[in-house]
Structure 1
Amino acid sequence: MNSEIEKSDDSPSFLLWQVLNLWQKNMRQALQAVELTHVQFILLIATDWLNRQCEQGDVTQAQIASYAHVEPMLASQVLRSLEKKGLLTRKEHSTDTRAKSIVLTEEGKQLASQAFLIAQQVDHSFIAKLGQEETDFIRLMKVLGTE
Structure 2
Amino acid sequence: MTDKLPNTPADATLSDNVCFALYTATNALMRAYRPLLERYELTYPQYLVMQALWLQDRMSLTQVSKSTRLDMGTLTPIVKRLETKGFLQRHADATDERKKVIVLTESGKQLKLEALALKQTLLDKVAMSSGEVEQLRQLCLTLTQELTHN
Name the TM-score class by shorter chain.
Answer: 0.7 to 0.9
Q: Displacement of 1:28 after TM fit?
A: 1.1
Determine the structure 1 residue equivalent to 2:76: 76
- Higher helix content, 1 or 2: 1
Larger radius of gyration: 2
The percent identity for this pair of structures is 26
Which of these residues, 25, 29, 32, is aligned with residue 26 of structure 1?
32
For the residue of structure 2 that corresponds to 1:29, the secondary structure is helix
Whether the aligned pair in 2 keeps the contact of 1:41 and 1:112 (CA below 8 Å) is no
Whether the aligned pair in 2 keeps the contact of 1:48 and 1:103 (CA below 8 Å) is no
Letter in 2 for 1:50: Q
Q: Displacement of 1:20 after TM fit?
A: 1.0
Q: Displacement of 1:83 after TM fit?
A: 0.7
For the residue of structure 1 that corresponds to 2:128, the secondary structure is helix
Determine the structure 2 residue equivalent to 1:9: 15
Determine the structure 2 residue equivalent to 1:134: 133
Letter in 2 for 1:113: L
For the residue of structure 2 that corresponds to 1:34, the secondary structure is coil
Q: Displacement of 1:66 after TM fit?
A: 1.3
1:36 equivalent in alignment to 2:35:
no
Q: Count residues in correspondence.
A: 137
Distance 1:120 1:62, change over 3 A: farther
Q: Displacement of 1:46 after TM fit?
A: 0.8
Query: How large is the Cα RMSD of the aligned pairs?
Result: 1.8
Letter in 2 for 1:137: L
For the residue of structure 1 that corresponds to 2:127, the secondary structure is helix
Tell me the alpha carbon deviations over residues 7-32 of structure 1, each in whole angstroms, 9 at most, x when there is no partner. Answer: 11211111111111111100112111
Determine the structure 2 residue equivalent to 1:96: 96
Structure-1 separation of matches of 2:93 and 2:72: 18
The normalised TM-score by structure 1 is 0.83
Tell me the alpha carbon deviations over residues 93-134 of structure 1, each in whole angstroms, 9 at most, x when there is no partner. Answer: 021221111101001111133112123322x135x4223533
Determine the structure 2 residue equivalent to 1:54: none
Distance 1:47 1:135, change over 3 A: closer
Moved more, 98-107 or 87-96: 87-96
For the residue of structure 2 that corresponds to 1:86, the secondary structure is coil
Determine the structure 2 residue equivalent to 1:145: 144
* Greater relative contact order, per chain length (Cα 8 Å cut-off, separation 6+): 1
